[in-house]
Structure 1
Amino acid sequence: MTAEAMRAAMQRYIELVDAGDVDGILALYADDARVEDPVGTPPLIGRTAIERFYHKGLGRNKVHAHLTGPVRVAGNCAAMPFCIELEWDGQPCTIRVIDVMEFNEDGRFQSMKAYWGVDNLELR
């Protein structure tokens, strides 16, 4: 997979999160993918667990997402800094995140790790 194709997939992911398009997001993942969001929590493995995660996160909140810097590519992985704006316990907030995706041979996300914590949550 080319660096350009990985960058395009990462940009597409942000667009789909911003649109709340869970089906579109799931199409980017391999069937046996792993998601660790945030890093340090038990990983979600497989389409069913990942689908539940996105429906829960995007379904309850009006989420807006946008890149805050360029997508970086190394080997079969890509990383990107971005912000998510949403309501956290009824309070508008922004979360600054860095996602790292590992791509499989088919160009789909094999794994996603989201680096963020409470220090990255800004109440508005």
Structure 2
Amino acid sequence: MPTQEHMKAVMQSYIDGFAAGDAAALAALFAEDAVIEDPVGNPEIHGREAIAEFYANAVASGAKLTLDAPIRGSHGSKAAMAFTVEVPGLMRIRAVDTMAFNEEGLVVRMEAFWGPEDIEM
């Protein structure tokens, strides 16, 4: 099982990947068979290739993430973070992401929690 330190470092790398506009670095955090549900309730995105495309579109928008609180670990293989997504000149989204990790420390499932009331135009 990955350590809390590892999970928190991966989640920080996720924030840093957005800051750098590096979709490939973001996709590399995920297992080949990973799943993203962003936001929860939307259709799931399956597999690293589709995840890479998802993040290529996200970073192309200029989206940047800022943590609202420290990244949280767990006694298991999941961690969470609260952050704000800023898309310059377009919107701000307040979100919470949870990530589940495999034995190799890669993300196998990411769920983003945000809804219409969490968006500011």
Q: Please indicate the TM-score interval, normalised by the length of the shorter structure.
A: over 0.9
Select the residue among 83, 98, 101 that pairs with 1:100.
Answer: 98
1:52 aligned partner, one-letter code: E
C-alpha distance in 1 between matches for 2:120 and 2:42: 21
**Mapped contact 1:22–1:54 kept (Cα < 8 A):** yes
Give SS of 2:42's match. Answer: coil
Query: Which residue of the partner structure matches residue 4 of structure 2?
Result: 3
Query: Which residue of the partner structure matches residue 113 of structure 1?
Result: 111
C-alpha distance in 1 between matches for 2:64 and 2:53: 19
C-alpha distance in 1 between matches for 2:51 and 2:84: 20
1:78-110: CA deviation from partner (whole Å, max 9, x where unpaired): 0000011004xxx53211010000001100000
Q: How far did 1:42 drift?
A: 1.0
1:29-86: CA deviation from partner (whole Å, max 9, x where unpaired): 0000000000001111101211121112222x11111111011112100000001100
Query: Which residue of the partner structure matches residue 82 of structure 1?
Result: 83
Q: Structure 1 or 2: larger strand share?
A: 1
TM-score, reference length from structure 2: 0.93
C-alpha distance in 2 between matches for 1:95 and 1:19: 19
TM-score, reference length from structure 1: 0.91
2:72 aligned partner, one-letter code: R
Q: How far did 1:122 drift?
A: 1.1
Query: Which residue of the partner structure matches residue 15 of structure 2?
Result: 14
Query: Which residue of the partner structure matches residue 122 of structure 1?
Result: 120
C-alpha distance in 2 between matches for 1:52 and 1:11: 21
Structure 1, unpaired ranges of 5+: none
1:104 aligned partner, one-letter code: N
Query: Which residue of the partner structure matches residue 33 of structure 1?
Result: 34
% identical aligned pairs: 42
1:6-32: CA deviation from partner (whole Å, max 9, x where unpaired): 111111111111221101001100000
